Amino acid sequence: MSRIDKAFEPPGHRALVAYVTVGYPDIQATLDVVPLLASCGCDVVELGIPFSDPLADGVTIQKASFHALQNGVTPGVCLEVAGQLRQHLDIPLVFMTYFNPVFSYGLDQFAADCAGCGVDGLIIPDLPPEEGSDLEEITRRQGLDLIYLLSPNSTEERITLVTERSRGFIYLVSVTGVTGARDHLPPDLKAFVGSVRQKASQPLCVGFGISTPEQAKQVAGIADGVIVGSRLIQLMEAGDDFRPQVSGFVKGLRKALDEASSA
């Protein structure tokens, strides 16, 4: 059983997945916040590799990505950071990136270096499963999970394809659009999750727009995991004193998910 598989154990446990941009506001902040997230109840951490054209991301993560690039953060730096984190953490670490940086690095070499530094999987929003077979084979050889996304407007054919090919879990995008904290969850989210559930054997995690414990609890009632990113990035903008705010927020999320699990 992989580290990602274990994140969804025991049965009924709702996984909390947190996203941070590597190098935002600086490298030390990433090295500080990821262990904090784990200690407060996060089951999986997505490490965002900054990219100049993050098509799936809203203003908050776009800004964080731009700032990290200005700090000189490259895929190589992100691999080094992941390796440092792995020395002290046992929770799954997943790179969230775009295909261009992976392609430029070299598919085989990137997958090998990810495995070498203890990364467990990849999320690449602009890589559709129709074009992912090469990277699927490469990541499988390295023991990495290639995690695909589904949006609410996915066709039945696309849902079937992703449920056949995604490893680790399936990332369900709650809304058609980009990442970002939102006040309300879409009314058709339950139906969307249910339609994927009919075909999927993998855990289903919902992201994009979840920013409060109340929203997390709602999602945990219908899905296996909740993904939170933009709100965490916003809290980290407080500077050196972000730790108390991040800690309180994540503990609130963890409590909400545990309440949903036991309901």
The overall average pLDDT reported for the chain is 93
User: In one letter, which amino acid is 225?
Assistant: G
pLDDT at position 181 is: 44
Active site residue 113: no
pLDDT at position 56 is: 67
State yes or no: pLDDT of 19 exceeds 50. yes
pLDDT at position 107 is: 98
Q: Where residue 81 falls among pLDDT bands split at 50, 70, 90?
A: very high
Residue 10 in any domain: the answer is no
State yes or no: pLDDT of 82 exceeds 90. yes
- The residue ranking higher by pLDDT, 126 or 183, is 126
Residue 4 in any domain: the answer is no
State yes or no: pLDDT of 207 exceeds 90. yes
pLDDT at position 208 is: 87
State yes or no: pLDDT of 176 exceeds 70. no
Instruction: Please count the structural domains in the chain.
Output: 1
Residue 125 in any domain: the answer is yes
User: In one letter, which amino acid is 217?
Assistant: K
Residue 91 in any domain: the answer is yes
Asked if residue 114 lies in contact with residue 144, where contact means CB atoms within 8 angstroms, the answer is yes
- Which residue of the set 46, 113, 145, 224 is catalytic? 46
Average pLDDT value for residue range 36-61: 90
256-to-22, 37, 70, 186, 217 alpha-carbon distances in Å: 27, 15, 36, 19, 5
Residue 26 in any domain: the answer is yes
Output the pTM of the full model.
0.94
CATH number at residue 159: 3.20.20.70
Asked if residue 178 lies in contact with residue 149, where contact means CB atoms within 8 angstroms, the answer is no
Average pLDDT value for residue range 220-235: 95
Q: Residues 102-142: pLDDT tens digits?
A: 999 999 999 999 999 999 999 999 999 999 999 999 999 99
Lowest mean pLDDT among 14-28, 81-95, 96-110, 180-194: 180-194
Domain that holds residue 136: 15-262
Range from 141-145, 210-214, 233-237 that averages highest in pLDDT: 141-145
Ramachandran assignment for 114, one of left (phi > 0), alpha (psi -120 to 50 degrees), beta (any other): alpha
pLDDT at position 138 is: 98
Residue 73 in any domain: the answer is yes
- Which residue of the set 9, 43, 57, 113 is catalytic? 57
Report the 3 state secondary structure along the chain: CCHHHHCCCCCCCCEEEEEEECCCCCHHHHHHHHHHHHHCCCCEEEEECCCCCCCCCCHHHHHHHHHHHHCCCCHHHHHHHHHHHHCCCCCCEEEECCHHHHHHHCHHHHHHHHHHCCCCEEECCCCCHHHCHHHHHHHHHCCCEEECEECCCCCHHHHHHHHHHCCCCEEEECCCCCCCCCCCCCCCHHHHHHHHHCCCCCCEEEECCCCCHHHHHHHHCCCCEEEECHHHHHHHCCCCCHHHHHHHHHHHHHHHHHHHHHC
Lowest mean pLDDT among 77-91, 135-149, 239-253: 239-253
Residue 8 in any domain: the answer is no
Active site residue 57: yes
